[in-house]
Amino acid sequence: MLPTTIAAWALALASLIAVGAIVVAAIAIVRVRLDSRPQSPGPARAIALGAGYLIGLAMALSEAAPPARLALVIAAGLVTLAGLTAGRSDLAGLFLIGASIGWLVVGAAVLFADLVRGIRMDPARVVPSMVVAAIALAVGVILWENRRRIRSMVDREAAERRPLTPGEARRWNTVSLSIGDPLWFEFPPNELAATAVLVLGAVVTVTAAHGRSTPAAIVVAAIGVASTAGAAGLAAAFVRSRRSRRAFEPWAWLGEWELARVAALNHCHAMTDRRAFRRYLRTVGERPDDRWFRVDVLAIDGRLPEARAIALRMPEDTAYQRVERAAGLAFVDWLGGGSGDPTDLRAAVADVRPLDGDDRVRAEVVAAIHEVRLRAGRSEPDPAFPLRAVRDRVGSRADRQLLVFARRMVRAFTPVAVLIVGGATALDHLALLR
């Protein structure tokens, strides 16, 4: 078990090694690049890395309880195996990388604390387990580097299918992928920054709670969870270039308005995830004012014939409804491999009056979004240019969109912060109690 006299600052300094190790591992795994347009990993990779870090800390802190350590090792092995059998060696590799870093951090903290206290070090206490952690780190990097090859080995049927046609290769979230910054180590910079904030939040919180009474540690953990989730949300929203921000703001402004419309359709209950969208389609009967929404959900799910049929039934009573109908038909056509001809959409946008009204600006953003898809589908450089070009038309309407997005991300990161920050603090406190 860790000596209870380990200086909190020593653990904090050694934990900073984890951040550096994450960067080093990321530099190693960047050798393998995706051949096609990258898919945004979303929070799954950050969760895998953070959960692995937490498990690694638990392994290191359970030195005095061999059965508990064995159970944790078995659990980590099962999680890794589950990731491999699911064809997600990327998540399995990141989980192992996180677990090994957590273990290495505690081992380094023990050795460093002995060094600064002038105690003759006994490497035999921790070096063997650190060697195991280093091996796990190497395995995790190998799994990441070979993730595509491993997935093909696991899913031979998928690997032997005919090549995807251009239409099948198009993605419904092409716009969100196009407006982001170039990847850092195959991660979007905002997600990488949010991951670093989560790790640093755990380090700072554990340091602040170390050696305190149980009630005080709970208070510190709660403050740490809240502040870390808030900082991670801000990082996910604001760590982006000016080019990305100018493309993001009009897109998000339109999206927030559409989410408010969806909430109004659902008796003022907000819906922000695909599961809720699908449930709405199953439980609520079709009506003219929700067909625009149904088209999007069906297209995202790949049910293109149904989406096109509903798009053809969309109302055309107002100029903006004609814009939405033309946009829906063009989107479904493009997603299915067609040209996505924007002629009808452009004509519908031109009919929206007044020129400075909200509906006209929204219509221009809708047209810009479709232009981004067309440019991305043709592999043109800078596909997000149409959204940046329309930013000045949107004006002050979109000035606070990054803050709005940050609030959403804070809610999304709160359970992750509870797992990583709260869990690490609890493990440290339990180790001291023993």
pLDDT tens column, 391-418? 999 999 999 999 999 999 999 899 888 8
Letter for the amino acid at 314? M
Higher pLDDT, 269 or 414: 414
Residue among 390, 304, 291 at smallest CA distance from 340: 304
Q: How confident is the model at residue 86 (pLDDT cuts 50, 70, 90)?
A: low
Q: Do residues 349 and 359 make contact, with C-beta atoms less than 8 angstroms apart?
A: no
Residue 337: count of CB within 10 angstroms of its CB = 15
pLDDT digits (tens, 9 = 90+) for 220-244: 999 999 999 999 999 999 999 999 9
CA 257 to chain CA mean position, Å: 23
Average pLDDT value for the chain:
79
Least confident of 62-76, 140-154, 330-344: 140-154
Contact 291, 281 (CB under 8 A): no
d(CA 220, CA 214): 10
pLDDT in tens, 307-336: 999 999 999 999 999 999 999 999 999 998
Residue 290: the pLDDT is 94
Q: Which residue has the higher pLDDT, 343 or 5?
A: 343
Choose between 168 and 87: higher pLDDT. 87
Contact 398, 250 (CB under 8 A): yes
pLDDT average, residue stretch 237-260: 94
Q: 69 pLDDT exceeds 70?
A: yes
- Quick check: 243 and 381 in contact, CB under 8 A? no
Q: What global pTM score does this model have?
A: 0.67
Q: Evaluate whether 143 touches 109 at the Cβ level (below 8 Å).
A: no
Q: What is the identity of the amino acid at 353?
A: R
Calculate the dihedral angle through the C-alpha atoms of 213, 218, 223, 226, rounding to the nearest 10 degrees: 160
**Sequence-ordered list of residues with C-beta below 8 angstroms from that of 238, at least 6 positions apart, any chain:** 190, 402, 406
Q: Are 391 and 238 in contact (CB under 8 A)?
A: no
Locate 244 and state its tokens.
Answer: 């990305």
Q: Give me the pLDDT at residue 125, please.
A: 60
83 pLDDT exceeds 80?
Answer: no
Burial string for 59-85 (b: 16+ CB within 10 Å, else e) reads bbbbbeeeeebeebbeebeebbeebbe
Give dist(CA 28, CA 145) in Å, integer. Answer: 8
